[in-house]
Chain A
Amino acid sequence: MSQTADKFIAKSTIKAADLDHRRTINFNIGKYNAKVPEGKQQFTQLLTARERAKNVKWRALETLDQQLEEFELQFTRRGGKVIWAENAKQACDEILKICEARNCKTLVKSKSMVTEEIHLNEFLGKHNIESVETDLGEYIQQLDDEPPYHIVTPAMHKSKEDVAKLFAEKLGTDPKATPEQLTLTARKILREKYVQAEVGVTGANFILADVGGVAVTENEGNARLSCAFPKTHIVIVGIEKVLPSINDLGLFWPLLATFGTGQNVTVYNSIILGPKQPGEKDGPEEMIVILLDNGRTNVLKNPKTRESLYCIRCGACLNACPVYKNIGGHSYGTTYSGPIGKVITPHLKDLGEYKHLSYASSLCGNCTEVCPMRISLHELLLENRYEAVEDGFVSFGERMAWKVWKKVSMSRKLMNTGSSKMRSWMINTFVKDWTRHRGPMQFPEKSFNQLWRERNGQ
């Protein structure tokens, strides 16, 4: 087993037994669960809406090359610049180049999982550029020197007491401060940063091909400030985020809001079409979009896993996942956690190293059930397992076990004879670790098959 897998098991073992963690997460996800049905009411035919959305993404991904080129064409027309980055290093290097040319010391950033994926903050820190998170949840996580716990709610695992304590330690606020007071403190600090920053970085929820724009969705207004205040605005976005048309937002904005937080629409939805145009009063002087591959074309290559690129990162599958709720977002050791993380990480990174995630599921199927894009998440986990077998990532012992299983299962005679091979297969597969928390397994003397034949004189 890989070291990454060992770490996963160690961390998840600790978290699964941590009852405080369980309580906080169940409480926070409980709030989400109570809110989502309200948001769903805005759809008269939710299933149709989801299916249409899936169709739109299907079309976008099947014609990805054309969509991205169309985006580039339209976006550059208004003075925007597009950079294509194959991997994290290229993306980071490009950002550094831009920052250095603008003599950037401080950079403000809105919430973006892609920047987590390429470890941008750490990289910029090494080059003495301060990268400040402006989303409150991300800001909390940055203060605590922790990666986001959840793709939508970065500090979901922290109670308000935890946050008050953290602020007191790091910023010297009153340890008994209320959430409102803490928010005001953060706001005051961040407002200064917006003014100082030479560069603003945001992600994008969608890239709009027909108009050459990016759409950013947020609840705090911090992304608007991050992209409008500094002179330079850099957007970094995965290539799969494309929508063919601005008109698709009519469907995608409500879906994202409802499945992400239970809102009808998120508070701030911005469409940014480029840098400040002649005659416009505000906006950045320059705007650069970095289109990032970083393994996404690997996912695209396989027609079966391709649909995982339809993901709009709403987080619904995480909230629905009993494994996620028990082990928390940090145990995965990946940027994207929960069901979608298990599906895509082995392809974005390395199948051998991350395949264990595909097995760490009871296949309950709740993720597939809740996903607004109707991605067959649990079936894709099975697809990953299949790939792991095909690519030779399972042990010799396991291969042999399944050979024996097949032999026995192909013949009832074999299954019935000798020391009951079927039973010993079962024992070997299950009992060793089974009994630790579940008491011994009891075997009846005879199988149904034997009893039936005896009773019916066969």
Chain B
Amino acid sequence: MNVQLFIPCFVDQLYPQTAFNMVKVLEKLGCTVHYNANQTCCGQPAFNAGFQHECKDVATKFLKDFSGSDFIVAPSASCTGFVRNYYGKIFDNSSVHNEVKDMGKRLYEFSEFLTDVLKVDNVGAKLEGKATYHDSCAGLRECKIKEGPRKLLNNVQGLELVEMNDVETCCGFGGTFAVKFEPISVAMADQKVNNALATGAQYMISTDLSCLMHLEGYIKQKGHNLRTLHLADVLANGW
């Protein structure tokens, strides 16, 4: 099966290793992975800042970069959800209407692609320890991801999965919100991290590096013994 990689801008710049881990898992499962090296960004940052025209130009480029009929897989529910749920609005009443609709159906967040398309919930990974899964808001509410990643993690050898309190509450990242309203964002991180710590987990795992980057920063600052990991990093481990 041919798969086009969509590596969101901040994953590209900050977490290349996670992207390679995703590739490793996809290849193991028999996918032929392609990467259009012209790709840049889906446009979400500008849209969220209110710069919809700037967003639309970049989104137009995105449509071009990912044309065709292959599945598109991304290690981010946030970007996946944005393309799926907002492109329709951005290109409302336009000639690319069908293209956009089609793209929404071809594009998958990594865990969704494994469980819903490849129908895999055990990739043969190993990781010793106790982990808790963090529902990213985009995963939960934009992409409706809830059980998939938990199934995958439950099948990781050596890993014990425990649920934290208020698991569906936002961690406080929210893009520029994290900086513009830093005290609120940090208070939200504090509660999320406390809930995770209360489970006794060593790892906090999620589909979204944006949440994890924010949480990791806060955890480090506080010196807690809790490590953040992207799902792909876990699934690529131990084999």
Contacts and interface: CB of A to CB of B under 8 A. Distances in A.
A390 B168 CA distance: 34
B37 A322 contact: no
Size category, B interface: 35 or more
Contacts of B13: 420, 422-423, 426, 443, 447-448
B12 A382 contact: no
Interface stretch (B103-111, B116-124, B177-185): B177-185
Nearest to B211: A362
Given A327-B184, A438-B218, A363 B12 contact: no
B12 A449 contact: yes
Which one of A326, A327, A366, A411 has the highest number of Cβ atoms from chain B below 10 Å of its Cβ? Answer: A326
A384 B49 CA distance: 10
B179 A432 contact: yes
B170 A409 contact: no
Dominant secondary structure of chain A at its interface with chain B: helix
A412 B37 contact: yes
Interface in B55-113: 57-58, 61
10 contacts: A322-B170, A364-B169, A365-B141, A409-B41, A420-B13, A429-B45, A441-B217, A443-B13, A446-B16, A448-B11
Contact of B188 (A326, A359, A451): A326
A422 B181 contact: no
Given A12-B184, A363-B137, A409-B61, A433 B179 contact: yes
A405 B170 CA distance: 27
Contacts of B49: 385, 389, 398, 402
B79 to A, nearest CB: 13
Nearest to B171: A362
A405 B46 contact: yes
B61 to A, nearest CB: 6
Contacts, number: 182
Interface of B: 7, 9-17, 19-20, 35, 37-41, 43, 45-52, 54, 57-58, 61, 137, 141-142, 168-170, 172-189, 191, 213-214, 217-218, 220-221
Interface residues of A, number: 64
Residue among B7, B13, B17 having the largest count of chain A Cβ atoms under 10 Å: B13
Contacts of B174: 361-364
B40 A361 contact: no
A406 B57 contact: yes
Nearest to A363: B174
B170 A366 contact: yes
A274 to B, nearest CB: 45
B179 A362 contact: no
Interface string A376-416: 00000010111111000010001000110110111110010
A16 interface: yes
A13 to B, nearest CB: 4
B80 to A, nearest CB: 14
A29 B141 CA distance: 21
A385 B58 contact: no
A99 to B, nearest CB: 42
Contacts of B19: 448
A281 interface: no
A444 interface: yes
Contacts of B183: 9, 12-13, 16-17
Contacts of A439: 217-218, 220-221
B40 A415 contact: yes
